Copies of this chain bind each other. A is one copy, B any other.
């Protein structure tokens, strides 16, 4: 790594993030199945703001104030909420121009955890190249924070981390000396030619299948449907200008 290059690191779990923290870094939050794919979709479909909250109690408080609320735990929509965590819930006719409060098992906690860093972006395959282009231009250290599953490592977030790291590094301003970045890139290279077949063994795919929620897996692994990048501004997400 030449000294002027910025570094790329991958953090496999929110429980490890403390040891990565770097307030001048850009952090990309990744929860491919399904929170960050759903958030990008919501902005594609015209949502105005998304307010991520870590707990169901906070989501419920917002609901009582009249907000539209998306909330799930363990893949299942909570009964007080308007809808859950499927990107298919965030339809233009329902959400256009709205502010939505959002709480999920893993994804929204990761967003809150990173909030003291320089910039928090939402990553998914749907916006991967726009994201890589923006990050390469910013010339700051990059931390890719995988939301995982209840603090455990997961394959689908790791593969995306590898794909993004590779694309950012290929643009020439970044490099890595981080073992988790190497592992992510190697797993991505192994999986990329038949991504859905590889994902077939991931635990989260089986969890979704059990609840008949696996209809979104193909969609969540579709590349570059948009150039929109959601960014955290104060306490809510908006589209990065």
Contacts and interface: CB of A to CB of B under 8 A. Distances in A.
Given A151-B16, A183-B183, A178 B203 contact: yes
Interface string A121-154: 0000000000000000000000000000111111
B182 A201 contact: yes
A60 interface: no
A150 B18 CA distance: 11
A175 B204 CA distance: 17
B177 A158 contact: no
B177 A154 contact: no
Interface in A1-28: 12-13, 15-16, 19
Nearest to A191: B186
A203 to B, nearest CB: 5
Chain A interface bracket (under 10, 10 to 19, 20 to 34, 35 or more): 20 to 34
A90 B154 CA distance: 38
B153 A180 contact: yes
A153 B183 contact: yes
A203 B179 contact: yes
A180 B16 CA distance: 15
B201 A190 contact: no
Nearest to A152: B19
Contact of A187 (B19, B178, B186, B204): B186
Contacts of A183: 153, 155, 158, 183, 187
14 contacts: A12-B12, A13-B13, A13-B16, A16-B151, A16-B152, A19-B150, A153-B180, A153-B183, A158-B179, A177-B206, A179-B203, A179-B204, A182-B201, A187-B187
